[in-house]
């Protein structure tokens, strides 16, 4: 396969950066929301669960438009960030990371929530009876047991962020070197006659990265499961 051009490498590296930061930013709230949904009953729980999973149901373009309304320079959040913090995310790679985080959040939360629900509550109760505060119980008992689910959810969210297209192009547009991620680059090259080879190269890169991510998730999950299983 011919070597990637500088423009193609730019799209690949930008996609990896966007996917990485989207996962890093969404992981702490993802763990918190997953624990809340798995371990607590409260008014509005069904509404929160529906809100978390809404990006899976909505057309990505709609999600991107909502992000643009909220985080655009004239939106309530975007205007505050610009005036108070001097931060602009619309039409920036950081905005692409936000779009990827929103689209991958349901997958992250679902994987972690299922792992938390599978943990025997008697183990947590035993630690509590020994005087451990709730936060210590979570950190020393629950978290190690659900680590495989965290890994699986993280990899799925990363893969989702890597392939995110609709919400990203709606929110941050298609700006070379700034927001033109791998899927957007493929779409762009598809519109240009004679760029079939570039499309094939980028498609191959996307398949390889996604495949390696899924294999790594499975291998790491198995390793952690063996390490935390009964001896």
What DSSP line would sit under 64-76, residue for residue?
A: HHHHHHHHSTTSH
Q: Return the domain boundaries, the chain.
A: 6-123+130-228
Q: What is the 8-class DSSP label of residue 58?
A: S
Question: CATH number of 6-123+130-228: 1.10.3720.10, 1.20.1250.20, 3.40.50.720, 3.40.50.300?
Answer: 1.10.3720.10
Extract the tokens encoding 115: 């792992």
- pLDDT of res. 221: 64
120 — alpha (psi -120 to 50), left (phi > 0) or beta? beta
Q: Mean pLDDT throughout 81-96?
A: 92
Residues 29-40 as b or e (16 or more Cβ within 10 Å = b): ebbebbbbbbbe
pLDDT score for 123: 83
Query: Is 130:122 a contact under the CB 8 Å cutoff?
Result: no
3-56 pLDDT, tens digit per residue, is 788 888 999 999 999 999 999 999 999 999 999 999 888 999 999 999 999 999
Tens of pLDDT, residues 168-192: 999 999 999 899 999 999 999 999 8
% of the chain at pLDDT higher than 90: 59
- For the chain, give the number of residues: 231
Task: Give the pLDDT score at 223.
Answer: 63
pLDDT given at position 231: 42
C-alpha distances in angstroms, 228 versus 31, 45, 128, 190, 222? Answer: 19, 31, 20, 47, 10
At residue 108, the pLDDT reads 94
Q: Which residue has the higher pLDDT, 222 or 27?
A: 27
pLDDT of residue 171: 95
């Amino acid at each position: 396969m011919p070597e990637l051009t500088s423009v193609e490498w730019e799209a690949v590296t930008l996609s990896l950066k966007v996917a990485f930061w989207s996962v890093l930013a969404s992981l702490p709230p993802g763990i918190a929301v997953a624990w809340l949904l798995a371990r607590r009953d409260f008014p509005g729980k069904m509404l929160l669960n529906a809100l978390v999973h809404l990006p899976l149901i909505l057309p990505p373009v709609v999600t991107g438009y909502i992000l643009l309304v909220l985080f655009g320079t004239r939106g309530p959040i975007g205007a505050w960030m610009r005036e108070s913090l001097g931060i602009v995310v619309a039409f920036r790679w950081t905005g692409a990371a936000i779009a990827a985080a929103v689209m991958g959040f349901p997958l992250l939360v679902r994987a972690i929530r299922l792992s938390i629900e599978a943990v025997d509550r008697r183990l947590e109760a035993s630690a509590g009876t020994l005087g451990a505060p709730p936060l210590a119980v979570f950190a020393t008992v629950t978290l190690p047991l659900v680590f495989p689910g965290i890994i699986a959810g993280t990899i799925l969210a990363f893969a989702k962020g890597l392939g995110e297209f609709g919400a990203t192009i709606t929110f941050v547009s298609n700006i070379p070197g700034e927001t033109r991620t791998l899927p957007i680059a493929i779409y762009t090259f598809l519109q240009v006659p004679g760029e079939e080879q570039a499309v094939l190269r980028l498609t191959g890169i996307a398949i390889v990265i996604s495949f390696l991510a899924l294999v790594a998730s499975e291998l790491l999950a198995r390793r952690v499961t063996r390490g935390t299983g009964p001896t």
